[in-house]
Each structure stands twice: as structure tokens, then as C-alpha cells.
Amino acid sequence: MEFRILGPLEVIAAGRVVALGGPKPRAVLATLLLDADQVISVDRLIDGVWGEDPPPSAKNALQTYLSRLRRVIGPETLERHQRGYRVVASARQIDAQRFEHGVARSREALTADPAAALRSVDAALTLWRGPALMDLADDPAAQAEIARLTELRQVAAELRVDALLGLGRTAEAVAAASALVAEHPLREGSRARLMLSLYRAGRQAEALATYHEARIMLADEYGLDPGGELATLAQSILRQEPHLGPAVPALPQPPQPPQAPALPQPPPLPADRFLGRDVEVAEVRALLRDHRLITLVGPGGSGKSRLAAEVCRGLGRDVCVAELAGLADDTLLEPTLAQAFGLAVSTDLAGVAAAVGDRRIVLLVDNGEHLVDALAGVVPRLLTGLPGLRILVTSRVPLSIGGERRHPVPPLPAATAAVELFLDRAAAVAPDWRCDAAERAVVTRICERLDGLPLAVELAAGQLVALSPAQILERLDDPAALRTARRDVPARHRSLDTAIDVTYRLLDQPQRDTFARLSVFAGTFDLDAAERVAGDVLTPLTGLITASLVTTLPDTSPRRYRMLQTLRQYAGRRLGDDERRAVRRRHLARAAELAATADRELRGPHARWWLRALSAEQDDTRAALAFALGGEDPAAGLRLAADLAWFWYRTGHITEGLRWLRAGLDAAPDAPGDDRARALTGIACLQYLAGDVAASTEAILVALELARAAGHPTTLARASAYLTLSLGLRGQLEEGAKMGEEAREQAIASGADWVLPEALISIGLIAGASGDAETAAAALDEAIEVGTRCGFVWSAGSARWIRAKQAAVNGEHDEAYTLTRRATRDLDEEDDVTGWLATTHLLAGTLALTGRPGAGAVLLGAVDALGGQVGYSPQRMDPLNGPRNVAAVTSRLGPAEYDAAHRRGQLMDRAAVRAYIDGL
């Protein structure tokens, strides 16, 4: 009788398969065969069949199965004992034991008689019919034996390769080892045999590529390097050491005269189209003409290697390539470079110099970031020894040596080249997809979210196999969303996270910590902000910039920095929950301090600088508002929104400002009354810009009540001044005049110089509307004088704007033009938006009134276009005087002439408008 457990359980008697019954009796017999010739307890048998939760009837059912088995295989084979049951079987009767004996015999015979070893191991391997002990796959107690037998099967397969190599049957050895590696790609014993088989078959390059593939897979999957034995074997193959055994003999060749090596051709280009880098190709080629060492630097996935390959075509020089992505051992760098020049791997650099001489050559060293220290030593020696050599390096980290010229490889422009790249790659995987205008807008958003990073864009385009662009966009925050199944893509580029991992592993711990903490910044940041949020960062930040994980904005002083959104998401996942909350609280505190300072400074002589500073920080103030109002600290969020209200007013962010201010009031109903009053005053101002006087008045009335209760004099004076303005716009002139005087007194009492001009402007507006031109002029002139003295240019410009409107109504057209021209210039110099647009609109009307309606039509077109970009209309804000400006122009021009001039203005940007006004 024969028992087979190397596959489905079988019992063979008299040459025929014995019927054992269903799965449960088969499991009983398999459990007994695990320890043949030993007594197995009933409890152990129950565990083998039912596991840890047997049914109440298990013992009775087991007796039934055992009785049936004893009838089938005989009571002399399945014995019953007091302590349990035993299968009586010799080693020759059980296939697993015959297999083990065959493997042992093969191992013993391998050195002396490889043919006998091959026969023995082949016979042993034929005993396998499937996975071992299949009937006990769910039995925890059987797992160790299953694992042992499975491992021994792999050992036997590797012994077979050894025997084939011992017999010199290298082609069969390569095939057998390749099958083993395909089944178990991370098993180093199998891979070592494949490397040796390939080497002995005369395929040295493939043997080394097999090693490099293992290194990349281990690094990508587990962050590990291959074992020392595998690395040693790779080095021995490079050096062609004799102990590796015979390689396939070469055919005898007639003696050849010495000659220079035959250099490889330029790097082969992928079949995919190359898009969006024409400028960079020309720039790098120009650098290679003037310099001998160029390093293309950029984050993983930015397209450095592809750009380098394009650069190398059409250079008029021989090109050779050293691909370093899979090279882990820096001691192999010089042999690898020698091989790139077409020389034997045993050639040293002196030998390279002697063989290559002064030939005009470009060496492309691709993916060198993990070997920069070694390259920094080798590259200067190459350049010294080969006077005709140019070296082009691609690396995430520069070599930082003399003579190096760095060329950053930026992402593609998101709205143009990146979209074209997406559409091109999408056509390959979804040929029936047609991108209409709506979907192109979604694709543009995808490319913007991915910062135009080529690898990320290509990975996203590949998802069109199963998803629509809208679905792809929804999933971009998921790190698993950007992966590819393409077989020709290197492992390091099969997902975006994997590409970034390569650089992340090169960082030291302080750099990793800083990288994670800086992920809290939603936009650009400066050194001060980084230190407030992440601690002492200068040294690690420098390292992150060098590693292309943080980008410096070159035209900024002090310098500002940014992280690509894809990198920021990766870095953010390296923060623990507690640390993330702590970092975001520091980020909120820093944003709050910045906004509080800006709220004061925007009313002083440095307003232009602060407008630009807050514009640069806008993404981060939004992030801080969302964090605070999302539940972390609603009162701080309301205070931050109130401090930003004046910035939103001056830059025309009406909708955004109203949204944040209302959200803050809703989220923090118990916040201090002064903060709520300031927020409501901000709402009133923004509603005024939007042309909703009723809503503005409603907000400022509540603000004034809260300000009176809170007792903060500046807040009270501002609320009174804006209520005066609202009353004037609603025609309640008598009430407005009274409130204006209160505002003036409160402004003086507050001690804040900049509040007084706002009160005076409101008084001047009320007096003008009441027909008291003398009082109006006096109040507005005082506002101009006080605003100019304290550096509050906006208030002086606004006072001139109202003064000019009143002059125009009174027929004083030249004075109106002069006042408006000055106000427009002053507000433009501050980079103000809403005030500048309002005064430019009035300037258009005064130009018409002074005989230049064509110029006025040009400015009206410009104001309509530029105001539309921020959602602000001076005519809607000022429904009384705005239409007068338009009428002054249109009444003096024919329709065709007006339309042509208006269209001309619509095409102008702000700089063009500035130049046009200066040329009047």
C-alpha cells in the first residue's frame, strides 16, 4: 500500500486508488500520516479535522470516519490503541519520505556524479502532484510541515539547476532557473543560480541585470538590499573571477590590431511621444556646448531621464550610457562606467582614458542620486583623463563638485503641456475616449492637482482604462490611485509613492522629520514660517532643496519655498496624528500672528509689502481657517477671519471673505464681542463692494451694538464710520451726519490715526449728498491730509475719489480729472485692486468730460475685464455715479467707435493699463 500526500491525499492498493470518502475522513487520514507509525490522540485528530471550534458531535463523527477508514485500508494498517490511533507505514510507502531521501541522495552525489544527482532529484520532483497536504490546508498544526515540505521542494529544484550546471547543460540551467525566479522573484538562492547560469552561458550583462532587478524589487517592496552572498556573486561576475567556473567558450578569432572601443549608440527612446520639453532640450544642449558637467536635477517622476535621452540625440558626438538605477554597491561604479564605454568591466579609469583618448564623447550617467558621493570622486577623474568628454548626469541630488552646472527639470505647465501629455497617454489605453470641453476642464484640474509632474500625469492617464476623468480627480488623494500595470515601466516608476520613496530613503532623520512637518504648508513659505512650524530647519531644509523635495522660488527676497502637492501629500502621510495636530496648531498660531500684524500694517506706509505678503500666504491662511473653524479652535478662526477682512476688501476677494467671516460667526457664537464686531464690520464692507447696501447696513448695525458693548475704541470708531457711509448711501442724510460726528469723536479718542480718515470720508460723503460742498471739501481734504501723514494711502486715495466725483457733478471737470488721476496712481502703486478699479472707472468718465472719450472707453473695457476676474464691479458698488461715468463716455462716441475702444481695453492686463494711463 502506498500513501501520497504531496498533493491531494491518495492511497494506492494493488495498483488502484482507494476510495476514502469525503473531505473529513481524508483529513483524518492525512493527520495520521503526518506522524506515521506514531499514536495520535483523538483530540489531535479532532483539531486536524474541525480546528479550534469543533461541533458537539465531533467525537462521534470521528469514530464513524475511523471505522470507515479501517474497513478501507485494513485494521492492520490503521491500528486502534488506548491513547488513540496509528497508521502503520514504512518510509517506502509514503511519497513525502521517498522525496526527502531522493533529495538527500542528489545532494550527496552532486559534486562527484552530477548525472546521478540529476536523475535522483528528477525522480524526487516527479512525486509532487500539487501543494503538499492539501487536505490539511486549514489545519494550523499542519502548517509547519507544509512549509517544510514546500521549502524542500524549492531546494530540490535549485539542486536540479546545480546538477545541470555541473553537467555543462547551461541552456537548460538558464531555463530551469528562470522558471524558479519567475515563481519566487525574491528568493535569493534561485536568483543566484540564474545569475550563475546566465554567466556560464556567456550572458554576463543579463546576469548583472538579474541582480539589479532583485535589488530594485527588494528596495521597492521592503526597503532592503540583497544579501551579502548575492552582492558578492554580482561583484565576482563583474570581475569574471575564475572560481565561477567555465563560461561558453568563444570561437577563435584572428589577431586584431588595437583599436578604440566601439561605443554604444544613444539611449533608445521609448515608443511614447516626447511632449512639452522643447525649450529644456535646447537649453541643456546649449549648456553641453559650453560646459563639461551638467546635472539634470528634479524630483522623482519629473522626466529627467527622458529629457536626457532626447538631449543626447543629434548632439554630433558619440554617446554612451551608464544606467545606475540598479547599482547598489559603489565599489562597482568604476567597472560599470568602463562597461558603458564598451570596455571590459575589469578596466580601471586609467584604462578608460588610454582607450578613449581625446574622442568627443558624451557620457550619460542616469539615475545617480544614490551614488553621488562615489560619483563626486569618479567624475572629476574622468573629466581630467578624457579631454573630449562631456558628462550629463540625471539625479535627484546634485553632485556638488567644481565645474558642475545644475539644470532643474521643472514640472510641465499644468494647463498646457501636462494636459497634452495626459491626452496622449490616455489615447493609448482608451482609444475610444473623446475629450470634450467639459472633460478637458476636468483633465486640467487633474494636471493642476498633480503639479504637472509627468510621471503623475501619465499614471493618472492610465486610469482611464476603468475610470472617467471625474472619478480620477476624486481619487487623487488616495496614494494607491496612481499606479500602472505596464510591464515596460521600471519598478521604481510603477507608482508615484514608489518614485518618491527612492529619494525619501536617501534622507537622514532630521530631513525626514522636517519634510513631514513642512507638509502642513498649503502654499509657499519662507524660512521664518518654516522655523515657527518645524523648529530649527535651515540645515535639513537645505538638504531637502538639494534632494529636489523642496523648491526655492528664485525671484523672492527673503527666499520663499514650496513643495509640490504630490510631495506634500506623501510627506503628510509620514506624520502621526498627534504630531500632525501639534504642527497644524503651530501653523495656525503663525497665520494668526501674521494676519493680526497685517491688519494694522495695511493701513500704513508699508501696505504694498503686506498686500503682497498676504497674497503669497493666502493658501496657508485658508488652510489655517479651515483647521480652526473645522472644530480645533473656532474663536481663533473667527479672529483670523476678522483680521483678514481688510485684505479681502482691498484685493476684491468678496465671495471668499464673506464665506469665511460668516463661517466664523456661525462656528464661534461665544467668541469675544470685539472679534464678532470686527467680523461683522468686515461683512458690511464686503457687502458694500458687492453693491448690497441693505445687507451692509444690517451687518454694521449689529457690529455697532457689539462694539459699544465691548468698548474697544478703534472697533467702535470703524463701525460708526461705516454706518455713516451706509446711511448716506440709503439717503438718510440727517442721521448720517449725526453718526459721522460720533465717528469723528470716537476716532480721535481711539488714538489710531488711520481711523480718523475713514470717519472724515463718510462725513464728506454725507455733506456732499446734502449739498454742503464747503463742508464736504473740508472733511475730504482733511482726510487726505491725515491719511497722507500717517501713510494710509488708501484713505487719501478714497477721499480724492469722492472729492473728484463731487467735483464732476459740480462741473469742475479738470479738477475731477486731476484728483482721480492722482488717486489712481497712488492706489496702483500699492497694488490695491478694488480702490484702483473704482478710481480707474471714474478716470474713464473724467477723460470723457475733458474731451477724451476714446481713452475713457479703453479704460472702461479694462475695468470690466479686470474686475470680472475678481468678481468686482465699480458700477454695481456705486449705482449712482458708476452709470454717469459710462454715460459720459458713450454719449460722446458712436457705437462702433466705443465698441472698438472697449474691446481694446478688455485685452489689457494691469501692467498695460498702467502704461496706457501713464501715456495719457
pLDDT tens, position by position, 136-195: 777 776 787 888 888 899 999 999 999 999 898 888 888 888 888 888 888 889 999 999
Q: Which position has the higher pLDDT, 889 or 29? A: 889
Whether the per-residue pLDDT at 423 is higher than 50: the answer is yes
CA distance 99 to 280: 63
Strand order in the sheet with 16-17: 2-4, 10-13, 16-17
**553 sits in which H/E element:** strand 551-553
CA distance 532 to 403: 36
Whether 770 and 733 have beta carbons less than 8 Å apart is answered as yes
> What integer is the mean pLDDT of 408-437?
88
- The mean pLDDT value of the chain amounts to 87
Whether 505 and 219 have beta carbons less than 8 Å apart is answered as yes
- What percentage of the chain carries pLDDT values higher than 70? 94
The DSSP result for 249-290, as a single string, is PPPP----------PPPSPPPPSSPP-S-HHHHHHHHHHHHH
Using only C-alpha atoms, the chain has a radius of gyration, in whole angstroms, of 40
Cell of 153: 521542494
Q: What is the model's pLDDT at position 266?
A: 54
CA distance 442 to 618: 24
* Residue whose C-alpha is closest to residue 798's, from 831, 839, 770: 839
> What integer is the mean pLDDT of 873-879?
90
The pLDDT confidence band at residue 83, using thresholds 50, 70 and 90, is confident
**Cβ atoms within 10 A of the Cβ of 23, count?**
11
Contacts of 821 (CB under 8 A, 6+ apart): 843, 846, 917, 920
Q: What is the model's pLDDT at position 750?
A: 92
Q: How far is CA 780 from CA 201, 602, 743, 794, 805, in A?
A: 96, 21, 15, 13, 12
Whether the per-residue pLDDT at 199 is higher than 90: the answer is no
CA distance 415 to 457: 12
Site of grid cell 447696513: 697
Whether the per-residue pLDDT at 331 is higher than 60: the answer is yes
Whether 140 and 91 have beta carbons less than 8 Å apart is answered as no
- What percentage of the chain carries pLDDT values higher than 90? 49
Quick: pLDDT tens for 638-648: 999 999 999 99
* Residue whose C-alpha is closest to residue 520's, from 578, 575, 468, 480: 575
Q: What is the model's pLDDT at position 799?
A: 96
Name beta bridge partners: 551.
562
Q: What is the model's pLDDT at position 831?
A: 94
Q: What is the model's pLDDT at position 430?
A: 85
∠ CA(717), CA(719), CA(723), 5° rounding? 115
Please, which contacts does 178-185 make with residues 24 or more away whose CB atoms are closer than 8 Å? Answer: 180/154, 181/210, 184/154, 185/214, 185/217
Whether 829 and 608 have beta carbons less than 8 Å apart is answered as yes
Q: What is the model's pLDDT at position 234?
A: 83
CA distance 131 to 293: 57
CATH code for the domain defined by 507-575? 1.10.10.10
DSSP-based three-state secondary structure for 407: strand
CA distance 469 to 446: 8
Q: Is 557 exposed, middle or buried (0-12, 13-18, 19+ CB in 10 A)?
A: exposed
Quick: pLDDT tens for 256-272: 333 445 455 456 555 56
Q: Is 384 exposed, middle or buried (0-12, 13-18, 19+ CB in 10 A)?
A: exposed
CA distance 297 to 811: 65
Whether the per-residue pLDDT at 135 is higher than 80: the answer is no
* Residue whose C-alpha is closest to residue 584's, from 519, 659, 681, 523: 519
The pLDDT confidence band at residue 848, using thresholds 50, 70 and 90, is very high
Q: What is the model's pLDDT at position 269?
A: 58
Cell of 832: 490695491
Q: What is the model's pLDDT at position 662?
A: 96
Of 361-365, 465-469, 471-475, 665-669, give the range with the top mean pLDDT.
665-669
Cell of 658: 464673506
Whether the per-residue pLDDT at 510 is higher than 50: the answer is yes
DSSP-based three-state secondary structure for 469: helix
Cell of 446: 487633474
What's 135's DSSP letter?
G
Q: Is 857 exposed, middle or buried (0-12, 13-18, 19+ CB in 10 A)?
A: buried
Q: What is the model's pLDDT at position 249?
A: 38
Cell of 886: 459710462
CATH entry 1.25.40.10 includes domain 583-795: yes
CA 352 to chain centre: 41
Name beta bridge partners: 394.
296
Contacts of 880 (CB under 8 A, 6+ apart): none
Q: Is the peptide bond before 246 cis (omega within 30 degrees of 0)?
A: no
> What integer is the mean pLDDT of 859-867?
96
Diameter of the chain by CA atoms? 129
Q: Which position has the higher pLDDT, 589 or 556? A: 589
**318 sits in which H/E element:** strand 318-323
Kindly list the domain boundaries of the chain, sorted by start residue: 1-168, 278-408, 417-499, 507-575, 583-795, 813-918
Q: What is the model's pLDDT at position 235?
A: 82
The pLDDT confidence band at residue 252, using thresholds 50, 70 and 90, is very low
So what's the architecture of 1-168 in CATH? Orthogonal Bundle (1.10)
**Cβ atoms within 10 A of the Cβ of 526, count?**
18
The pLDDT confidence band at residue 481, using thresholds 50, 70 and 90, is low
Whether the per-residue pLDDT at 85 is higher than 80: the answer is yes
Fold agreement between 278-408 and 507-575: no
Whether 180 and 297 have beta carbons less than 8 Å apart is answered as no
Site of grid cell 514640472: 411
Whether 391 and 291 have beta carbons less than 8 Å apart is answered as no
What's 16's DSSP letter?
E
Whether 768 and 807 have beta carbons less than 8 Å apart is answered as no
Whether the per-residue pLDDT at 92 is higher than 70: the answer is yes
Cell of 116: 546521478
Of 342-346, 460-464, 728-732, give the range with the top mean pLDDT.
728-732
Quick: pLDDT tens for 364-409: 998 888 888 899 999 999 998 888 899 999 998 899 999 999 999 9
Site of grid cell 448690497: 692
Q: How far is CA 152 from CA 144, 146, 195, in A?
A: 12, 10, 21
Topology annotation, domain 278-408: Rossmann fold (3.40.50)
Whether 222 and 209 have beta carbons less than 8 Å apart is answered as no
Q: What is the model's pLDDT at position 815?
A: 95
